[in-house]
């Protein structure tokens, strides 16, 4: 793990963690679906034309129909919610990392600069923000300088 490759120890450990989660989640689900498929029987393979015969057909089946068959309901719900679980696990491992938070802060500063937000408090005004007279979008409309207190009431010293 060299420092020039962009591969740090924490990133390596997160990749190992996501690989472990994927391994320990995939094996039980795959085993279940293989066993259920073997129990119900397989259709013999005929040709690729037969496999792709109804490729563009999308069946619409009412929920009360497929929810009455427990195997079908569990299969569909697992395939639906496993994607959501994977997204949460991925974000938990990589979205809260130090480098990700640095990128979020950089984006926040860039967007704040575009709308003209400044953290400075002119004239010692508590809880104030300043919208500067510049725009991120090239339009003919120019925003003036506004000083707004914490509750949205204009600051008294500048009126």
Which tokens hold the place of 5?
């490759």
Q: Which residue has the tokens 């600051």?
A: 155
User: What secondary structure letter does DSSP report for 129?
Assistant: E
Full pLDDT tens readout for the chain, 159 residues: 545 567 788 888 888 998 998 899 889 888 988 898 888 888 888 999 988 888 898 989 888 888 998 888 988 898 899 899 989 999 998 898 888 889 899 888 888 888 877 665 455 555 545 454 444 443 333 444 444 434 444 444 444
Which H or E run includes 23? helix 9-40
User: What secondary structure letter does DSSP report for 74?
Assistant: H
Spatial distance between the Cα atoms of 62 and 66, rounded to a whole number of angstroms: 7
């Amino acid at each position: 793990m060299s420092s020039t490759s962009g591969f740090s120890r924490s990133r390596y450990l997160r990749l190992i963690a996501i690989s472990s989660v994927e391994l320990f989640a995939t094996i039980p689900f795959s085993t279940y679906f293989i066993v259920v498929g073997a129990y119900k029987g397989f259709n013999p393979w005929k040709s690729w034309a037969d496999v792709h015969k109804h490729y563009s057909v999308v069946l619409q089946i009412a929920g009360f129909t497929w929810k009455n068959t427990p195997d079908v309901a569990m299969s569909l719900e697992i395939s639906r919610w496993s994607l959501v679980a994977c997204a949460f696990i991925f974000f938990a491992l990589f979205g809260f990392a130090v480098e990700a938070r640095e990128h979020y802060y950089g984006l926040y500063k860039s967007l704040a600069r575009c709308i003209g937000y400044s953290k400075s408090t002119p004239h010692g005004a508590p809880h104030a923000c300043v919208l500067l007279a510049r725009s991120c979008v090239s339009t003919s409309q120019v925003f003036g300088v506004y000083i707004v207190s914490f509750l949205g009431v204009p600051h008294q010293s500048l009126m």
